[in-house]
Amino acid sequence: ESPEGRKMLELRRSLPAYKEKDALLTAISRNQVVIISGETGCGKTTQIPQFILESEIEAVRGAVCSIICTQPRRISAMSVSERVASERGEKLGESVGYKVRLEGMKGRDTRLLFCTTGILLRRLLVDRNLKGVTHVIVDEIHERGMNEDFLLIVLKDLLPRRPELRLILMSATLDSELFSSYFGRAQIIHVPGFTYPVQTHFLEDVLEITGCRLTPYNQIDDYGQEKMWKMSKQAPRKRKSQIASVVEDALKAADFNGPGAILVFMTGWDDINSLKEKLYANPLLGDSSRVLLLACHGSMASSEQRLIFDEPEDGVRKIVLATNIAETSITINDVVFVLDCGKAKETSYDALNNTPCLLPSWISKVSAQQRRGRAGRVQPGECYHLYPRCVYDAFAEYQLPEILRTPLQSLCLQIKSLNLGSISEFLSRALQSPELLAVQNAIEYLKIIGALDENENLTVLGRYLTMLPVEPKLGKMLLVGAIFNCLDPVLTIVCGLSVRDPFLTPFDKKDLAEAAKSQFSRDYSDHLALVRAYEGWKVAERDFAGYDYCWKNFLSAQSMKAIDSLRKEFFSLLRDTDLVDANTTTHNAWSYDEHLIRAVICYGLYPGICSVVHNEKSFLLKTMEDGQVLLYSNSVNAREPKIPYPWLVFNEKIKVNSVFLRDSTAVSDSVLLLFGGSFSKGAIDGQLKMLGGYLEFFMKPAIAE
């Protein structure tokens, strides 16, 4: 045993989870389902899977045990597996491995696998009894992600078929009762946590301490829930920059005594970026010899996310601007100060109008406590909640589970692909069931796009869609893109829509940025503009000028790189489907025919469509469900005085105060008729059946075997 090994062991033994080790293992051996709750940092994620592994090895079952531990996010699966392997003095891929979408490190002797929830769901697709798996650990169930809630229904069904399988659920907070009763009063083990005391300030305290005038959210003048609800209905643009201003003020005003990193909770990429810009412009906070400024959010490349774990040089203050992914799943060890803006970007779903909404909204009490807890990990810390205490008092206790606030199309498709019977019957067995209308909307959508037939059975198209880990509309584009030999640009579009928007619109340079984007547009399409921007970047990147190119054109270099690597991933998945010639290694020569691509976009995005109604000066847009809708100002179509096409197809609409469309492409009547449908239901069905039949004809041989 090396000195480092001994030190690591000591460190592990000092974690609160260690004290519960025997109780945990006994409970796991006696019960099929065990629920473990404990404070963030007490050692659930890194220790408990190891305890199980070690006890299996002791019981001489080391060679036959197979432990799967799911994580809601890629970055946690990767960083946790790395940590656990190093705690064991091993390399990743020995006894500990990980697997995330199209990436992984796993060897023949891997017995403990960290993976995303999505990966386990995909495995269930081909191996519904999880043959050979001895333990499934579902981590972070308190987050109530849709995939996790879904997985729990599937596992609950599986348990009686696999009596020796053990299920361990881990949760950071104290809503364990809910999970326990779901699994027939399963045993709960609580791990008492240890954190250093965290001094807590609310907005009014910060004002007091510093004597300076901190810009409060100006909407906060009445603290009732109703008011907050109203706030969340206001245009996002104003508030976005406002969050950045509030945080900027706080960073200037607060007194950060002593060393330690500052972790700032923001709502998303946009306000992180706008704050970054503000800070770079500040002589003190933007000085890289004093401040190491880093960002952390879900759509960053994992290599880039990992920088947040770096330690800064002496005398340099690390500031991490993060979304709520830093709330529970990642541990940044040197954090002493936390700034909490009080909001998170959250999707909600309006089933009545069948419209998703994406808005920064107030977090729950539990989230605020989690954020605060991040400050007390290495020494006593401080947390600044940048809102008044009375606002905190009005927070909901827990956040609404994702399954109740998201469109359910992808979920319903998954239910079908796993052969789980009637969708609505299956979903009625969830921890909390979505409303019937939301389920019906999703089923209706899947029927319209041709993924389900009249009787809710998967069509051939539907089966192909389940092979691609993207939303059905993007999957459709990939499939016909492959068939019509224009996969190269279509891959760019699909990947561009899967990562965050590569076109940046910095708050104070909005006009310049929007003008830069419209240079890429000749044909009334945000999607084609993206293709051109990416192609230009590729050329620049060959001369190592990718960053310059992005800077000049207000593009995110990160997104461009993310698109680049996703393209390769999706391409290799498509090769597995037989739609792409397995010998094809390059797809660069493929068709860039603009009309063809437009048709493919329409085929994917239908029924996301609105009509263009011209009046004297400009035009109005209308959809059937919403009436008039608006374009986000960074859409190339928003800058056009006229659109010489009768329709726009769009990939996303979001209700804020009005309904806004994101990324649209203009299409003609004939394209819509052939690749979408018209507003008359009968015609839609007819067209889609025809197209579906066409696809079915193409795809049949593959399915037969």
Residues engaged in binding ligand ADP (CB under 6 A) = 15, 38, 40-47, 79, 83, 331, 333, 377
- Phi-psi label, residue 554: left if phi above 0, alpha if psi -120 to 50, beta otherwise: left
Q: Which two tokens stand for residue 196?
A: 């250093």
Beta bridge partners of 36: 170, 189
Q: Which two tokens stand for residue 403?
A: 């399954």
What is the spatial distance between Cα 11 and Cα 18, in angstroms, rounded to a whole number?
Answer: 10
Closest separation in Å from C-beta 9 to ligand ADP: 13
What is the spatial distance between Cα 288 and Cα 310, in angstroms, rounded to a whole number?
Answer: 15
For ligand ADP, the closer CB: 44 or 99:
44
For ligand ADP, the closer CB: 79 or 466:
79
What is the spatial distance between Cα 128 and Cα 120, in angstroms, rounded to a whole number?
Answer: 10
CB 329 within 8 A of CB 71: yes
Mapped onto helix, strand or coil, the DSSP state of residue 662 is strand
What is the spatial distance between Cα 566 and Cα 494, in angstroms, rounded to a whole number?
Answer: 9
- Tell me, residue by residue from 5 to 44, as one string, x for binding to Mg ion by CB under 5 A and - for no binding: ---------------------------------------x
For ligand ADP, the closer CB: 41 or 104:
41
CB 305 within 8 A of CB 296: yes
Q: Is 117 in the site for Mg ion (CB under 5 A)?
A: no
Q: Residue 46: which of ligand ADP, Mg ion, none does it interact with, CB under 5 to 8 A by kind? A: ligand ADP
Q: What is the DSSP letter of 636?
A: G
Q: Residue 653: which of Mg ion, ligand ADP, none does it interact with, CB under 5 to 8 A by kind? A: none
Report CA dihedral (519, 520, 522, 526) to the nearest 10 degrees: -120
Q: Residue 15: which of Mg ion, ligand ADP, none does it interact with, CB under 5 to 8 A by kind? A: ligand ADP
Closest separation in Å from C-beta 141 to ligand ADP: 12
Closest separation in Å from C-beta 192 to ligand ADP: 12
Closest separation in Å from C-beta 51 to ligand ADP: 11
Neighbours of 60 (CB within 10 A): 8
Closest separation in Å from C-beta 502 to ligand ADP: 30
Closest separation in Å from C-beta 582 to ligand ADP: 40
Q: Residue 331: which of ligand ADP, Mg ion, none does it interact with, CB under 5 to 8 A by kind? A: ligand ADP
Q: Residue 676: which of ligand ADP, Mg ion, none does it interact with, CB under 5 to 8 A by kind? A: none
For Mg ion, the closer CB: 175 or 535:
175
Cα(first)–Cα(last) distance of the chain, in Å?
53
Closest separation in Å from C-beta 169 to ligand ADP: 13
Q: Residue 538: which of ligand ADP, Mg ion, none does it interact with, CB under 5 to 8 A by kind? A: none
For ligand ADP, the closer CB: 200 or 331:
331
How much of the chain is in helix, strand and coil states, percent to nearest 5? 45, 20, 35
Neighbours of 547 (CB within 10 A): 14
Is cis: bond before 434, omega within 30 of 0? Answer: no
What is the spatial distance between Cα 416 and Cα 462, in angstroms, rounded to a whole number?
Answer: 9
- Tell me, residue by residue from 42 to 71, as one string, x for binding to Mg ion by CB under 5 A and - for no binding: --xx--------------------------
| Closest residue to Mg ion using C-beta atoms | 45
For ligand ADP, the closer CB: 377 or 561:
377
Closest separation in Å from C-beta 375 to Mg ion: 17
Count of positions on this chain that bind Mg ion (CB under 5 A): 2
Q: Residue 536: which of Mg ion, ligand ADP, none does it interact with, CB under 5 to 8 A by kind? A: none
For ligand ADP, the closer CB: 37 or 459:
37
For Mg ion, the closer CB: 41 or 118:
41
What are residue 375's phi and psi, to 5 degrees? -85, -20
What are residue 692's phi and psi, to 5 degrees? -60, -40
Closest separation in Å from C-beta 140 to Mg ion: 6
Closest separation in Å from C-beta 46 to Mg ion: 7
For ligand ADP, the closer CB: 95 or 331:
331
What is the spatial distance between Cα 178 and Cα 627, in angstroms, rounded to a whole number?
Answer: 41
Q: Which two tokens stand for residue 278?
A: 């503000």
| Strand pairing report for 317-322 and 291-296 | parallel
Return residues touching Mg ion (CB under 5 A): 44-45
